[in-house]
Structure 1
Amino acid sequence: MKAIQRAITVAALGLAVVACGRGEKPPEDTPPITGAPTTRAQHGETITSATLQAIKRRGRLNCGVHEGLVGFAFTDNRGQWRGFDADFCRGLAAAIFDDPNAVRFVPLAIGQRFEALESGRVDVLWRNTSWTMARDAGEGLSFAGVNYYDGQGFMVRRSLNLNSAVELKGARVCVQAGSTSELNAADYFRVRGIEYRPVVLPNEEAARAAYAREDCDALTADISALAAARTTLSSPEQHAILPDVISKEALGPVVRRGDEQWGSIVRWTLNALILAEELGVTQATVDARAQDSRDPRVRRLLGVEGDFGPMLGLSKDWARNAISGVGNYGEIFNRNLGDDSALDLARGLNAQWNARPGGLIYALPIR
């Protein structure tokens, strides 16, 4: 019996040594921002996010955005950041600080965006980034949701009298290097056995400029980006976006893997802004609805009932602050991309799920 007990003791010591050895090296996906580890919330207990702690210490959110894409992220004549993605950055800052201006915008080229996120230079990447398996499973990134459903298309001069992308046989097609657009275009023409001449440019601005100089016959990119590019041309009415949609591009915010609570904060702030539109809560009415609404869904959203904000490490009125700061999803869309903008894009797939006609925008329940 004593021999058996000694064997068990030796085995236990061996396991302990192995476990200690494992603990000497941190996992590769440990986020570069250090702080208290994330723990599970139980019985109302608050969990802790290293990223959130770092944001609160510095007093602002660092948000990675496009260097300049009309409608999504660009600077106006006064040097102020505007756009659909920029407003979501402000909404997130408002959820954390009750101040939509507590954000520093970090413009990033396509080749810089993931490194900037992984290195901790930005806390969140809100830069019209497509959710793909390689990025989600292979690059140590975590997508926190979808705020815009897009698809890739082609823009051509009306003078070419083209009705479809299948007519681009032998055409020169401008595309941005290192983008999903470059890969999608190659797939599209290959499957159809269509010969084309890719004109690969180092960045989006260069691709737009090459198209404007007529160095290519067509420009391919996400349809929203094509609509933005068209507004910058000298005669926008002379250019058409073909009806072909050759890909599915689900665009949304990206965070580092390894800080689950921070990912939840970004995810639920996005969902709160979507839910606000569904429930008819606007920037102008949010305070009144918090006071007067008897709808339990509205009361939970605005922090009147429940402790949903503290589950995230935020205040009870985190969502109310976000809506007050930037408005609901529909308001953000309309002023930057829709009827009230230069792009004048239809809601299409980005309509609420219960609209007529319905879209794909669907908020997860807060309950």
Structure 2
Amino acid sequence: MTKSVFFGALATAGLLAGAASAQTLAEVQERDTLRCGVTTGLVGFAAPNETGEWEGFDVAICRAVAAAVLGDGSKVEFIPTTGSTRFTALASGEIDLLARNTTWTFSRDVDLEFEFIGVNYYDGQGFLVRKDLGVTSANELDGATVCIQTGTTTELNLADFFRANDMSYEPVPIETNAEAQQQYLANACDVYTTDASGLAATRASFETPSDHMLLPEIISKEPLGPLVRHGDNAWGDIARWTLNALIAAEELGITSENLEEMSAGTDNPEINRLLGSEGNLGEMLGLSSDWAVNAISAGGNYGEIFEDNIGVDTAIGLDRGLNAQWTDGGLLYSPPFR
């Protein structure tokens, strides 16, 4: 997809966003269901399990917001979106929240008129290859065929990387991760490129993951996060502070196991304000005083969500890295609850 087509799609979504309703909270409460846009299927981040129930790292964000607003993390309708359809779905009001490994960029924030409510995963674009391809660096990919999802930042990053390194490539356009996996395994492309976390999740689903490797180069910054429409500040505040509540809970030592005990009151004023035993933060959001308790109870704090879905003990096997708390050398940091 060319840049002109890509930004044309952005302009269309931007016009729709400007026309969308700014009453999302009231609509969600009246509907008694949160409509959350997710990927079409990426194990560890958002995919239906054997019984058809959606689960994953991004899914947990949707459930936390639903719990904060409706008191029940199961009150979510998950709407699969592709890289090409996700922005139109949000701008048109088909979904209330997009939580779909989406990179925070200038044009999406400003031109598209969306509002990113924070970063839930700090990532970067990488390359997945078969070991028998015989390369150990992305700088050895001159002339390669590359599977790449259309309508994404990875298209532009890929073009920039090959141009900067005076190399050529043949793009193999795909719409979904499932299609990319199928094409890659069928040898229709030498390389699959997307966010490194997505590549790790894709490789984990292969019959023999050890036959494939992620090359060492990370060629971009990909701060991934949920987003809402511009002009609906109250709804944006709820989504933003729900994510912050999950991050702060980990830093403050609030877990799914001690949540009930801590919500009764502690010696720490920050914990008390967050969990509603002190102050009126819930009232400020238009929610109940236990909104954060509900959000955390839906899937645990940020660290629990990470480890349960994509951590080192899962098939995805990701370490925290930049996604560790700031106190542990990472970038995670919540503004204060006061």
Cα distance in 1 for partners of 2:189, 2:19 equals 42
Which residue type is aligned with residue 335 of structure 2? L
Q: What are the Cα deviations for residues 307-341 of structure 1, in whole angstroms up to 9, with x where unaligned? A: 11111111111111111121000000001000342
> Is the 8 Å Cα contact of residues 141 and 257 (structure 1) preserved in structure 2?
yes
Q: Does residue 268 of structure 1 match 2:241?
A: yes
* Aligned match of 1:208: 181
Deviation at 1:28, TM superposition (A): 7.9
Cα distance in 2 for partners of 1:278, 1:173 equals 40
Cα distance in 1 for partners of 2:20, 2:86 equals 16
> Is the 8 Å Cα contact of residues 142 and 255 (structure 1) preserved in structure 2?
yes
* Aligned match of 2:91: 118
Gap regions ≥5 residues in structure 1: 1-26, 35-49
* Aligned match of 2:285: 312
**Structural mapping, 1:102-181, within 5 Å:** 102-181=75-154
Q: What are the Cα deviations for residues 13-60 of structure 1, in whole angstroms up to 9, with x where unaligned? A: xxxxxxxxxxxxxx98555336xxxxxxxxxxxxxxx21111111111
Q: What are the Cα deviations for residues 275-330 of structure 1, in whole angstroms up to 9, with x where unaligned? A: 00000100111111122421111111101111111111111111111111210000
> Percent identity over the alignment?
51
Which residue type is aligned with residue 39 of structure 2? H
Deviation at 1:215, TM superposition (A): 1.4
Q: Does residue 33 of structure 1 match 2:21?
A: yes
Q: What are the Cα deviations for residues 101-147 of structure 1, in whole angstroms up to 9, with x where unaligned? A: 11111111221111111111111001111111111111121111110
Which residue type is aligned with residue 219 of structure 2? I
Q: Does residue 59 of structure 1 match 2:32?
A: yes
Q: Does residue 336 of structure 1 match 2:305?
A: no
Q: Cα–Cα, structure 1 residues 201 and 324, in superposed 2: closer, same or farther, change >3 Å?
A: closer
TM-score between both structures, scaled by the size of structure 2: 0.93
**Structural mapping, 1:1-367, within 5 Å:** 30=18, 32-33=20-21, 50-355=23-328, 358-367=329-338
SS in structure 1 opposite 2:35? Answer: strand
Q: Cα–Cα, structure 1 residues 111 and 350, in superposed 2: closer, same or farther, change >3 Å?
A: same
> Is the 8 Å Cα contact of residues 158 and 240 (structure 1) preserved in structure 2?
yes
Deviation at 1:201, TM superposition (A): 2.2
Cα distance in 1 for partners of 2:315, 2:16 equals 44
> Is the 8 Å Cα contact of residues 324 and 330 (structure 2) preserved in structure 1?
yes
Cα distance in 2 for partners of 1:131, 1:254 equals 9
With 83-92 and 288-297 compared, the bigger mean Cα shift is at 288-297
Cα distance in 2 for partners of 1:160, 1:59 equals 51
Cα distance in 1 for partners of 2:117, 2:262 equals 28
Task: Work out which of the two has the higher radius of gyration on C-alpha atoms and give 1 or 2.
Answer: 1
Cα distance in 1 for partners of 2:296, 2:313 equals 19
Deviation at 1:85, TM superposition (A): 0.6
Cα distance in 2 for partners of 1:142, 1:75 equals 27
TM-score between both structures, scaled by the size of structure 1: 0.86
SS in structure 1 opposite 2:110? Answer: helix
Deviation at 1:153, TM superposition (A): 0.3
Which residue type is aligned with residue 363 of structure 1? S
SS in structure 1 opposite 2:171? Answer: strand
Cα distance in 2 for partners of 1:28, 1:77 equals 36
Moved over 4 A (4+): 27-31
Which residue type is aligned with residue 213 of structure 1? A
Cα distance in 1 for partners of 2:267, 2:330 equals 28
Q: Cα–Cα, structure 1 residues 203 and 29, in superposed 2: closer, same or farther, change >3 Å?
A: closer
Deviation at 1:197, TM superposition (A): 2.1
Number of matched pairs: 324
Which residue type is aligned with residue 149 of structure 2? Q
